[in-house]
Amino acid sequence: MRAMILAAGRGVRMRPLTERIPKPLLTIGGEPLIVHLIGRLAKAGFDDIVINHAHLGEQIVDRLGDGQAFGVQIRYSPELPQALETGGGIYNALTLLGGQPFVVVNGDIWTDFPFERLPARPSGVAHLVLVSNPPHRVDGDFALTDGCVSADGDPKLTFSGIGVYAAELFRDCEPGPFPLAPLLRVAAAQGLVTGEHYAGEWVDVGTEERHRALNDRLAESG
């Protein structure tokens, strides 16, 4: 089973930090965010990893290389001349991900999620990991009832940026930039999306304030 880390975002909310370094390379607890994620995936047995990149992407390639230093194989899906958003980025990398279901992880999260517990094949076209709503997203994204994900209903949970997808999810898509969320909502309305609620460590390191707060917390506990 292959995995993909989404690393093409520009990190606008983290300026000025991301004017000189791509967000996945920002250091958390002494190592880049993306290195932490690669380590978690490798520990779970994912040794074939695809990484997309756009803004300052050459820095990601220079830092990670072919993945040998981390015990994995890394292949890259560059997005030029523009980033393709979440859905478009995954669609652009489908040939690298193969015909079997694959895991996708946002490159700007910090988590201790055990990736080995993800299903190798979703019963529909997607399986999402949801988390309790953080302060910056109190309304959540999806409802979860008996393992089934829906766009409607209460209470809602927040999509963690971790999911297992079948290529069929992207069957009617075309090349170019497009978001992932609308595809998931349509599939969920058709009963094709399962999910789970993860209550462990998870932080969306999407702003300079959250980046600083996480580093401070890890320093105090370490």
User: pLDDT tens for residues 181-195?
Assistant: 999 999 999 999 999
The pLDDT value recorded for residue 16 is 65
Domain count, the chain: 1
* pLDDT over 90 (residue 116): yes
When pLDDT is averaged across residues 150-160 and rounded to a whole number, the result is 94
Q: Which residues, including other chains, have CB under 8 Å from residue 197's CB and lie 6 or more apart?
A: 130, 131, 132, 144, 157
Give dist(CA 70, CA 140) in Å, integer.
Answer: 34
Structural domain span for residue 196: 3-221
The answer to whether residue 54 scores a pLDDT higher than 80 is yes
Angle at 79 between CA 103 and CA 46, to 5 degrees: 25
The string of pLDDT tens digits covering residues 202-218 is 999 988 888 889 888 98
CB of 105 closer than 8 Å to CB of 1: no
pLDDT at 182: 97
User: For residue 29, what pLDDT band results from cuts at 50, 70 and 90?
Assistant: confident
pLDDT band at residue 2 under the 50/70/90 scheme: very high
Instruction: Evaluate if residue 172 carries a pLDDT over 60.
Output: yes
Q: Is the pLDDT of residue 19 over 90?
A: no
CATH code for the domain in which residue 68 is found: 3.90.550.10
Residue 11 has pLDDT above 60, yes or no: no
For the chain, give the percent of residues with pLDDT over 70: 95
Distance CA 128, CA 163 (A): 4
pLDDT confidence tier of residue 14, bands split at 50, 70 and 90: low
pLDDT score of 174 more than 90? yes
Nearest-angstrom CA–CA distance, 131 and 153? 16
pLDDT at 12 over 80: no
Widest CA span of the chain, in angstroms?
48
CA distance 103 to 111: 15
Long-range CB pairs of 22-28 (<8 Å, 24+ gap) are: 22/53, 22/55, 22/56, 22/57, 22/59, 22/60, 23/107, 23/108, 23/205, 24/60, 24/107, 24/108, 25/59, 25/60, 25/63, 26/205, 26/211, 27/215, 28/110, 28/205, 28/211, 28/214, 28/215, 28/218
Can you tell me the distance from the alpha carbon of 59 to that of 21, in angstroms, rounded to the nearest whole number?
Answer: 7
